[in-house]
Structure 1
Amino acid sequence: MKTADLVRSAGRNAFRSRLRTTLTVLSLFVGAFTLTLTTALGAGVNDYVERQVATVSTGDILLVSPAAVVPEGDGPAEYDPDGREQAGAANPLGSGTLLNDDDLDAIAAIDGVQRVEAVSQIAVDWIAAGAGTGSSGSADAADRFEVTVNPTSSIGRSDLVAGAQLDAESGDAQVVLPEDYVAAFGFDSADDAIGATVTLGYTDVERASQETTAEVVGIARESLLAAGAGANAALVDEIADAQAVPGQPGAWPIAVATLETDADGAVSDETIADVKAELSASDLTGQTVEDQLGVIQTVINGIIGVLSAFAAIALLAASFGIVNTLLMSVQERTREIGLMKAMGMSNGRVFGLFSLEAVIIGLLGAALGALAAIGVGSAISAGASTLLADLPGLQILLFEPTTVLTVVLVIMAIAFVSGALPARRAARQDPIESLRYE
């Protein structure tokens, strides 16, 4: 029997008992459906996170903050007059301890660090379009909107819809506005907002209301890493100086260390590891943007792993179904097997015939499950796009052809392994005994 004849025969034999085969295919369908959806979920979320990292970071910065120190012994830690200052409130950017000038000098002295910039947190009360429209030169209250300034925007990057990135070297105040401020300020499009002037109101250290103006240089999408408006160093320094307590030593929750790059503009993993080790020796900790997102990805991958475990259980149950289906088929076709072997069919061909039947069942269940998952997943993604409008660019389920093909091949391999035992039993049958079987 030629290989083509073997495949055709296996295809026909697989559906001799249609009900039994259909139930086995359905069990594989459930596993393929679940596994395809979970892999698409992981691919979609991880793709979004990776694109966000590429957007806001060029890979050459470390976010540096004081290392968390666990007090030795029992009770509270003793006061150190030469130690670091403690933050007055919980800080989402780092620990409760603040960096000082000595820390910045220590960071700058590390080999591989090109420059260090301390990140100042500023509080802006409101923002309005124009350079002041009220009778007193300030914007009317009805035209003001609340705004938060991303602390790391002066040294980071934004996911721009229009315009350009902030110029850290410019002496003129610049802002990058979130996309939803375009319509609020009466602009027809994001491009129309570029070059416009906005007024920012804030409270200085003496609790007096102050205003300053800035030029809109870019419009940005909201993202995981760039919430709020962006402000360049000139604007941040102006407001930070007005809100700083006179005579108080410099203290910052976090600093950004820009690392030296190679000829290709990249930073090697070795350089990052060496800088992190030097920071650790100074009771500091450095994290890349990828490190900060590692926790998010770990949680996501953990959830996907649990969901994939359910798919694996379904596939395990389906594998027993394949074993049962083919064992019953071998028993029902005992005389047929004996006849084939008596006519010269080798043990290997018999084994191949029954193995192919298992693979065909696996292919059918996997293909139907994957196609159904793509159809249902596409509908879910379309519906979720409205619910996740605040995260533009997020495709919650991303069906990559190579991943779907891998799922199908894996299930076919599981089917082949499951069918190996019945196929081996069929191949080892004695033709004389088989022909006598009633």
Structure 2
Amino acid sequence: MRTADVITTATRNAFRSRLRTTLTALSLFVGAFTLTLTTALGAGVNDYVTKQVETLSTGDVLLVTPAASTDTTDGPNEYDPDGRQQSGQANPLGSGTLLNDDDLDATRAIAGVDRVEPVRQISVDWIAGDADAAADGRYELDVNPTSSIGRSDLVAGAQLDQEAGDLQILLPEDYVDALGFADAEDAVGATVTLGYTDAALEEQTVEAEVVGVARTSLLAAGSGVNQALTDEIADAQAVPGQPNAYAVAVAYLEGSGADGAVTTADVDAVKADLADADLAGQTVEDQLGVIQTVITGIIGVLSAFAVVALIAASFGIVNTLLMSVQERTREIGLMKAMGMSNGRVFGLFSLEAVVIGLLGSAIGALAAIGVGTAISAGAASTVLADLPGLTLLLFEPATVITVIVVIMVIAFLSSVLPARRAARQDPIESLRYE
């Protein structure tokens, strides 16, 4: 029997008992459906995070924080009036220990660091479209303390100029209509008024120029302001006599690559020097890598359920083929009596399992793509409408094909025992089988 005949016969034999084949394929369907969805979820979220890194990161900045403490001595540490302060509240940007001016000076002295700017958290009470806005024309505004770190995903306008002396703001996209602008382009170049409370608990206002309008992002929520505007408000809100302390500082690096580009070697060298100064440096990619690690862990747990379903399905394949071997004992004996080799018999039954695996995995993957596409589209227009660019379930052809191939391999491995039993049968004894 030629190879093509073996394949044709195996395909036909796989559907001899349609009910049994259907039930076995359905068990593979569940695993393929779940595994395709979980891999698509991981691909979609990781793709969004990667795009945000490319959008937000300029590649030439490091987030500087105090190094994690490795003190193993018993008891509390002695108080050092000239040492670092401890944060009184949870801080998402750094550790519980705060940087001081000495830390900033040490960072500035490191070779490869162009300048260092501390991230100073400010509180803005409201924003209005013009200086004469009435109370009902004011809107609450959150300021993103990390807006000086990198770039924003712009709808219109330009990025913040952190070295400029004029006061600049990046307006969130959903504030355009509220502040009376016709569109994002109309807002660029306009002046807005910010209201805040100073250290004396008195209301103050400051005007800033809108240099750009930014899309809402999972990784960069709130409005962005440049260093000059941050310093203006932070100085007014600073408590007199209180020593300077910062949760994190931004170190802008000098590059040694072509056209002054910052290379990986430059970043690593500065990180090493920071470590020597009891400081830690992280790129935006480093911080977002933690998010991707968590996402990968969650997807791994979800995928484990699909693997369990596939393992259960593999026992179904073993059972299906063992029953098929028993039912076709005389047929096997006849084929071997006519000269069919053990290898051909083995291949015939193995291919039957592969056909069942292809059937169940292909239908499961296609069903997952259909259902997942609908879910992704629905989520994009409802709960994820504030996160443009996020495809919740991203079906990559290579990943889908990999899932199908993996399930076919599992089906093949499940067929080894039944196919081997069929191949080893004695033709004389098989022909006598009743």
**TM-score normalized by structure 1?**
0.93
How far the C-alpha of 1:114 sits from its partner, in A, is 3.3
**1:354: Cα distance to partner?**
1.0
1:435 counterpart residue number: 431
Task: Return closer, same or farther for 1:89/1:304 CA change in 2, 3 Å cut-off.
Answer: closer
Q: Which whole-Å deviations, capped at 9, do the CAs of 1:152-198 have from their partners, x for residues lacking one?
A: 21342111111111112222211101111011112222122111110
Residue type at the aligned position of 2:187: A
Contact 1:166 1:217 in 2 (8 A): yes
Cα shift at 1:312:
0.6
Residue 218 (structure 1) shift: 1.0
Task: Within 5 Å, give how 1:17-416 maps onto structure 2.
Answer: 17-69=17-69, 72-130=72-130, 132-133=131-132, 139-246=133-240, 248-261=242-255, 262-263=257-258, 267-385=262-380, 386-416=382-412
Tell me what 1:136 maps to. none
Distance (Å, rounded) in 1 between the aligned partners of 2:264 and 2:35: 33
The Cα shift of 1:407 comes to 0.3
Cα offset, 1:265, TM superposition:
6.6
Deviation at 1:248, TM superposition (A): 4.4
Runs of 4+ that moved beyond 6 A: none
- After superposing the two structures, state which structure 1 stretch, 5-14 or 340-349, moved more: 340-349
Structure 1 residues not aligned, in runs of 5+? 134-138
SS at match of 2:165: coil
Q: Which runs of 5+ in 2 are unaligned?
A: none
Measure, in 2, the Cα distance between the counterparts of 1:150 and 1:223.
Answer: 11
Distance 1:388 1:79 in 2: 48
Paired residues, what number? 432
Output the CA distance in 2 between the equivalents of 1:193 and 1:361: 60
Taking the aligned partners of 2:145 and 2:101, their CA distance within structure 1 comes to 19
1:256-310 deviation digits (Å, cap 9, x = unpaired): 1223432277654444344333322322222222222233323322221121111
SS at match of 1:216: strand
Aligned partners of 2:254 and 2:313: how far apart in 1? 55
SS for the counterpart of 1:38 is: helix
Amino acid at match of 1:111: A
Secondary structure of the equivalent of 1:86? coil
Q: Deviation of residue 65 (structure 1)?
A: 1.1
Structure-1 separation of matches of 2:427 and 2:149: 80
Identity of aligned residues (%): 76
In 1, the alpha carbon distance for the partners of 2:259 and 2:56 equals 19
The TM-score normalised by the length of structure 2 is 0.94
What does the per-residue CA deviation read over 1:180-236, in whole Å, with 9 as the maximum and x for residues that have no partner? 101111222212211111011112222222211111111111212211101112211
The CA distance in 1 between the partners of 2:413 and 2:336, in whole Å, is: 23
